[in-house]
Amino acid sequence: MAEACTYFFLSSLLFSLLETSNSLDTLPSNQSIRDGDTLVSAGGTFEMGFFSPGSSKSRYVGIWYAISSGTVVWVANRDTPLNDHSGVLTITDEGVLALLNSTNNVVWSTNISRTAENPVAQLLDTGNLVVKDGNVDDPERFLWQSFDYPCDTLLPKMKIGRDLVTGLDRIMSSWKSTEDPARGDFTVRLDPRGLPQRVLMKGNTIKARTGSWNGLRFTGYPGVTRNPVFDYEFVMNQNEVYFDFTLVNTSVFSRYTINPSGVAQRFVWMDRTRSWELYATSQPDACQTYAFCGAYATCDRDNSPACACLKGFLPKSPKDWKSIDWSDGCVRRTPLVCNIGDGFLKYTGLKLPDTSSSWFNATLSLDECEGLCLKNCSCTAYSNLDIRGKGSGCLLWLGKLIDTVVYSQGGQDLYIKVASSELGMTKRRPEKDCENEGLKEDMELPIIDLTAIANATNNFSSNNKLGEGGFGPVYKGTLPEGQVIAVKRLSTNSGQGPIEFINEVKLIAKLQHRNLVKLLGCCTEENEKILIYEYMPNKSLESFIFDETKSKLLDLRKRIDIIGGIAKGLLYLHEDSRLRVIHRDLKASNILLDMEMNPKISDFGLARSFQGDQIVSKTHRIVGTYGYMSPEYAVHGQYSVKSDVFSFGVLVLEILSGKKNRGFCHPDHHLNLLGHAWRLWIVDRAMELIDESVVDAHTRSEVLRLIQVGLLCVQQRPEDRPNMSYVVLMLGSEVLLPIPRQPGFYADLSVADSPSSNNATYSANGISISTFEAR
């Protein structure tokens, strides 16, 4: 019995020792691990051994997360699988790590440039498998490391880039499939030509470009900011150029991968669910496709069509361009004549063009950079190398400008060289013209020459007059190249003074969205204050919905599309633009319609921007338009995004009914349109608000839903109104809607319909207010 107990104890001890030896993190020379054995990193984070991916029968040596054995992050013999379980991984006396098959033939091995006295292979807690001399822990003295040979996964502190001394190029490459880790079609690498940039390639073809590093981020990632998971790092010196990422919180696991389809993805391990959660993906849209619009063009996913030639350039193949084939790009309208009057047009908010044909210098100023570009006949554009602070360094493009993208937020400034004749309508340094108005660098758009504007509008001829806005007349004009424009000329006695003018220029120049009118330029010569807009051939929404004849051209489907477009434009202003913008004068006359009757919000003279977490502001100077102002703004001067939501709700009810809120008249009561709509709603007669010619039985539920959204937006209390993201959701889905409460200004209104006086008195819910500048 004692012998049996002794035997059992020794057997257990031996088994325990074998278990321990199979779980060590280090493989000494002339020792090996076989299929079924593993190395485990000291902290227990990573494990290395033999595996078969998915249902494959092939065997590979790989490294995976200990918490998730199916998450393989590196494969040794990815292109030379074993056919059975007889593989052996060993390290020789010289420090060569080798994988042998059943016939002792080498299937895979490391290459080293020097031998070691006491070589060992060790799996580090970073996931890096290293071959080194004994107890040497200095990465610079490692004989070999798996981090130098990435597969489809980038781990923290794993470099992608080039060692300029040895020539080693660290490149990520996808698996062929989820069950075959052999090198696939896609790679992620740093293109070292010109200013190094990160690219996604399929074979030898660039498919997408993250762009060059600007001191804060890659230019193709304008929205990337500090986050609780990781930080990117970019290093460029005489010895190496690379990027990697580090974890902000080392207790979090995160990995960056490229899947067999070429989609880059970032995952974070969630302890709560014991699974990987997709944190970000680079599923490409059209504008992320490399050179989607060709040379000398920009791609803007918020516009339709997405591609547009740069100013001063025309489609190389007009026929293909009209057929939505933009691959040939654009060419100069006027060739450059080197050193004879060439100048620059400034673009903002861009992903900078392909830098493979560029030159850079970290010590030059932007002015010095401009001078160099002017002197170099091959230079096509320039920009700051580093955007931190006020910007520094010089980056010159010495070839075609390719793969330039417009962003709604973030992005960089780019100065594009054009011929002197293209500058005839623009000053070389446009900010100086508006310097007295306080615009300077903030303007971000060209200054148009007054003579050119006068010529375009036939000297502001009455025959060219489109209408009279609140701040002055608007004229139709035609530029020499044929572009039709709208010219807003502020009258000297208009309510919009220098402050409103500067405000409109600063704000709208920074805003880009398909449902916002584009500002093309401005002019301040000879005390003029002129704004140049894209021309809207169908004029304003007001000219349609309140006109007995033209309103018949707007069927219900078109009205719904217009409501949806306005909502998306407002959502962009409130939540998605670089600034949180409150329009403060949203009304039917400030909604312009393009050739396809798409709505575009215009007239930003009264708009205000909020910074950071600011959500409400107050003013003693209440400006706006009767019938569209929210109660809290009209009575207390408080405005927020909910003020715009109220105005939007008024617009919804006006668009559906074809009736104006201001001046609405009904024989049964003295309520405005909001009050009338509310009365009908609470007695279940809301359909009476709509012209029968617009609605049929199939659209009844859709119309009732729109009326309900409109009433939700005009509720008395701002906190009861939805924000625009919820409005867009309600308009675009079948989400259950809340029950609206009483609208603002729900009372008998006995106000004279003559608010032209700047001191007019307005009665709302029994409260009288003055000091209006309403229109």
Query: Residue 285 corresponds to which tokens in the numbers above?
Result: 């849209």
- Beta-bridged to residue 40, according to DSSP, are 47
Q: How many CB atoms lie within 10 A of CB 671?
A: 20
Distance, in Å, from the CA atom of 510 to the CA atom of 443, rounded to the nearest integer, reads 8
Residues contacting 218, CB < 8 A, separation 6+? 197, 198, 210, 211, 212, 224, 232, 234
Query: Residue 352 corresponds to which tokens in the numbers above?
Result: 């900078």
Nearest to 453 by CA among 523, 506, 505, 517: 523
Instruction: Determine whether 585 is an active site residue.
Output: yes
Nearest to 535 by CA among 585, 466, 582, 583: 466
- Beta-bridged to residue 46, according to DSSP, are 65
Q: Is the dihedral of CA 180, 184, 187, 193 positive or negative?
A: positive
Distance, in Å, from the CA atom of 206 to the CA atom of 199, rounded to the nearest integer, reads 7
Q: Is 455 helix (H, G, I), strand (E, B) or coil?
A: helix
Asked if 202 and 186 count as a contact pair (C-beta separation under 8 A), the reply is yes
Distance, in Å, from the CA atom of 255 to the CA atom of 267, rounded to the nearest integer, reads 5
Q: Is 106 helix (H, G, I), strand (E, B) or coil?
A: strand
Strand 106-109 and strand 119-123: the pairing is unpaired
Distance, in Å, from the CA atom of 205 to the CA atom of 194, rounded to the nearest integer, reads 18
Asked if 491 and 473 count as a contact pair (C-beta separation under 8 A), the reply is yes
Over its C-alpha atoms, the chain yields an Rg (Å, rounded) of 33
Asked if 434 and 527 count as a contact pair (C-beta separation under 8 A), the reply is no
Whole-angstrom CA distances from 266 to 172, 229, 254 are: 14, 11, 7
Query: Residue 187 corresponds to which tokens in the numbers above?
Result: 């790679």
Asked if 323 and 305 count as a contact pair (C-beta separation under 8 A), the reply is no
Query: Residue 632 corresponds to which tokens in the numbers above?
Result: 């809290």
Within 385-525, residue ranges assigned H as helices are 450-456, 498-509
Q: How many CB atoms lie within 10 A of CB 467?
A: 13
Helix (H) or strand (E) holding 713: helix 700-713
Distance, in Å, from the CA atom of 64 to the CA atom of 257, rounded to the nearest integer, reads 14
Distance, in Å, from the CA atom of 246 to the CA atom of 232, rounded to the nearest integer, reads 7
Distance, in Å, from the CA atom of 385 to the CA atom of 218, rounded to the nearest integer, reads 12
Strand 330-332 and strand 313-315: the pairing is antiparallel
- Beta-bridged to residue 55, according to DSSP, are none
* Tokens 């080392």, residue located: 250
Out of 244, 300, 403, 585, which one is annotated catalytic? 585
Asked if 280 and 227 count as a contact pair (C-beta separation under 8 A), the reply is no
Nearest to 395 by CA among 443, 359, 426, 422: 359
Nearest to 712 by CA among 682, 741, 680: 741
Distance, in Å, from the CA atom of 395 to the CA atom of 236, rounded to the nearest integer, reads 15
Cα-based angle 108, 110, 111 (whole degrees, multiple of 5): 130
* Tokens 């889905």, residue located: 733
Q: Catalytic site residues?
A: 585
